């Protein structure tokens, strides 16, 4: 008997342009497809690298892309402009703005510049109607305040990528109509508090991602992550959310289509 095809699932956030994957893109995409990954969004974290990231999206039917200035790079990269981001969005496979955000774990000294960059990206998300992709680490209070203030000034769509923050920031994001994305961290044995946050969230507001090459889920923890492994995270999270895997894969794919409408 032929094997049943795995349920279709989406990797909403990966970094295929990182050197960890050099020369392996054909096999990576093939392994992802074999695991049921129908689409993946590769994220450009420094705008000067946008041409290489765009080339990957143009080369593979299953790959889409987004671009922005990562908060940890905000101090050393030129400040993005709204016009620059809006111009990039004209590409048919450009589906989101970012990643952007706040990271006070290693780069708290550039907090003011990170906030300025974040507000530029938010305005670009407003103008394009594309979802904002947020990275937030050790900055929950400032992140909640900026997102709330900016949303009041003019609505925009958003995903809290690789969400690992506390329940208050999760609630703020959900109250604003945003999405929470679970990475391999949510599948780690000690992440029960994080799984509880996802279990409490509306099921139509969760996405799944790898953030590869980082944060591989069990049983690959500590090794290089790749888009195929999004299925491992989704399977562990399905159990935590009281769903079966095909159900969670279908739900997160539908959620992805709603948020990342250009990739639908």
116 is in an annotated binding site: no
161 is in an annotated binding site: yes
15 is in an annotated binding site: yes
**Joined tokens for residue 236:** 């562990």
CA distance 102 to 88: 22
220 is in an annotated binding site: no
Give the closest residue to 181 by CA, choosing from 215, 213, 155: 215
3 is in an annotated binding site: no
Which 8-state DSSP code applies to residue 181? E
Residue 165 CB coordination number (10 Å): 21
Residue 23 CB coordination number (10 Å): 7
Provide the H-helix boundaries in the chain.
25-34, 50-59, 82-88, 111-128, 140-153, 167-175, 192-200, 230-240, 245-259
135 is in an annotated binding site: yes
Known binding positions: 13, 15, 99, 135, 161, 211
Known binding positions for a divalent metal cation: 13, 15, 99, 135, 161, 211
């Amino acid at each position: 008997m032929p094997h049943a095809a795995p349920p279709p699932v989406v990797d909403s956030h990966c970094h295929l342009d990182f050197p960890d994957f050099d020369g392996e893109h054909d096999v990576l995409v093939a392994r992802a497809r074999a695991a049921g990954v129908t689409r993946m969004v590769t994220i450009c974290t420094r705008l000067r690298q946008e041409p290489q990231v765009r080339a990957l999206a143009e080369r593979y039917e299953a790959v889409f892309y987004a671009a922005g200035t990562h908060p940890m790079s905000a101090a050393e990269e030129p400040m993005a402009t709204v016009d620059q981001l809006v111009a990039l969005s004209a590409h048919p496979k450009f589906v989101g703005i970012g990643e952007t955000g706040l990271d006070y774990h290693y780069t708290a000294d550039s907090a003011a510049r990170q906030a300025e960059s974040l507000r530029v990206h938010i305005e670009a998300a407003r103008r394009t109607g594309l979802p904002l992709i947020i990275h937030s680490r050790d900055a929950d209070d400032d992140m909640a305040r900026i997102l709330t203030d900016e949303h009041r000034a003019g609505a925009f769509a958003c995903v809290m990528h690789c969400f690992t923050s506390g329940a208050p920031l999760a609630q703020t994001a959900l109250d604003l109509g945003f999405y929470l994305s679970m990475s391999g961290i949510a599948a780690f044995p000690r992440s029960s508090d994080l799984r509880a946050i996802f279990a409490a969230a509306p099921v139509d507001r969760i996405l799944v991602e790898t953030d590869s090459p980082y944060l591989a889920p069990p049983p690959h923890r500590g090794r290089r992550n790749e888009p195929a492994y999004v299925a491992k995270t989704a399977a562990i999270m399905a159990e935590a959310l009281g769903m079966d895997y095909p159900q969670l894969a279908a739900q997160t794919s539908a959620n992805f289509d709603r948020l990342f409408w250009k990739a639908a």
